[in-house]
Each structure stands twice: as structure tokens, then as C-alpha cells.
Amino acid sequence: MPKVTYRPASGDPITVDAFADMTLMEVALCNDVPGIVGLCGGICSCATCHVYVDEEWADRLPAPSGEEQDMVEGLDKRRANSRLGCQVMVTDALDGLVVTVAEAE
Ligand code: FES
């Protein structure tokens, strides 16, 4: 069972056990991670699941789809390591992943 650490915009980091084949957004919602809302249910249209992937993990995640890239490019708080949590599937290969929750737009 992979572990994922979320750093909320404020407050202490939260490390949780994630079921493989859930998205970062779904895992966050299951564990009440502050700042992850998942308003659109994961269809890549709200960005309330915006996270920054820690540098050491950035190249280990699958590349974002064009749809995700388009959505991220429209965010004021985007960074080079921005991802939408609903578009990142947690797998055993991501055990130890650390992400920071973006502040709400
Ligand atoms: S939950 Fe809406 S874009 Fe991710």
C-alpha cells in the first residue's frame, strides 16, 4: 500500500496509506486533506485538486494529458511542478510521494 504525504497550504504534513489505483484527489478526500475539494468529481474541469509535486518526484509521474496541461496553464498559482490531483493515479511505484496542496484560486 503506497504512502503519500500531503503538505497543506497551512498546517502539518499528512501522511496516509493510499489504495493503489485511486487518484491523488480521491486519496486526499478519503483522508480529509485540507485544501483538496475535488469539486468536479475528477473530470479535469475545476482545479480544486491542484498540487505541487516535490521536485524529486516530478519526473517519476506520468506526463500530464493535454487536457490537464490546458487546465493548469489557466491557473494563476501554477508552477512548473503543478499537477491536478484527479489526473494522477497512485500506484505502488509512487510509494513515498510528497505533494504540496496549492492555495485556492
Ligand atoms: S477534481 Fe476537478 S479538476 Fe481535479
| 24-42 confidence digits (pLDDT tens) | 999 999 999 999 999 999 9
Q: Which of 44, 67, 105 best tests ligand 1's pocket when mutated (most atoms within 8 Å of CB)?
A: 44
pLDDT at 105 over 90: no
User: What CATH number does the domain containing 8 carry?
Assistant: 3.10.20.30
pLDDT, residue 3, reads: 96
pLDDT, residue 37, reads: 97
Q: Which residues constitute the domain of residue 42?
A: 3-101
Q: Which residues, other chains included, contact 67 with Cβ-Cβ below 8 Å and sequence gap of 6+?
A: 44
Rounded to whole angstroms, the Cα distance separating 99 from 55 reads 9
| pLDDT tens profile 7-25 | 998 899 999 999 878 999 9
Residue 40 in contact with ligand 1 by CB distance below 6 A: yes
Confidence at 61, pLDDT banded by 50, 70, 90: very high
Of all atoms in ligand 1, which is nearest to the CA of residue 71? 3
Mean pLDDT, to the nearest integer, of 47-58? 96
- 3 state DSSP class of 69: helix
* CB 7 within 8 Å of CB 16: no
Residue 39 in contact with ligand 1 by CB distance below 6 A: yes
